[in-house]
Amino acid sequence: MATMVFVNFPVTDVKRSTEFYEKLGFKKNQDFSTDETSSMVWDDNFWIMLLNHAFYSKFIKDKTIADTKTTSATLIAFSLDSAEAVKKFGETAKANGGDFYKVDMGISEDQMFGLEVQDPDGNSLEPTWMQM
């Protein structure tokens, strides 16, 4: 069995965040979604769980939720099929309340291309394509 990765993001508005991730190409899994959380599926192995702050707080004991608009918490990288797919992902994010930027890593675009994409709450994703 392949390993599955479940990324948990704290969000201020589950409905807004669900709509944002659906526009990026994620599908909502109703079986694992409630009013407090949306289970967003990219493929069989990569899911993002969107949790409202009250629900997310149950999992972090005495810690506070980082303001990911001003503080980096994680960078979640995942692969896409092409540099064009990465660019489309970033543009779709920006058109729907998120943002993106490119970090110059000194590697030619025909070898590797990635973007830093933020959702409306500032959670970070790194869609990346690499020539294998």
pLDDT tens digits for range 68-119: 999 998 999 999 999 999 999 999 999 999 999 999 989 999 999 999 999 9
Q: Residue ranges per domain, the chain? A: 1-62, 74-132
Residue 74 structure tokens: 């994680």
Same fold, 1-62 and 74-132: yes
The Cα–Cα gap between 117 and 132 comes to 23
Fill in the DSSP letter of residue 30.
Answer: G
In this structure, are residues 75 and 116 in contact, taking their beta carbons and an 8 Å threshold?
A: yes
| Fold entry, domain 1-62 | 2,3-Dihydroxybiphenyl 1,2-Dioxygenase; domain 1 (3.10.180)
Reported as a pLDDT band with limits 50, 70 and 90, residue 49 is: very high
| Fold entry, domain 74-132 | 2,3-Dihydroxybiphenyl 1,2-Dioxygenase; domain 1 (3.10.180)
pLDDT score recorded for residue 42: 97
Measured in degrees and rounded to the nearest 5, phi and psi for residue 130 equal -135, 140
pLDDT tens digits for range 115-130: 999 999 999 999 999 9
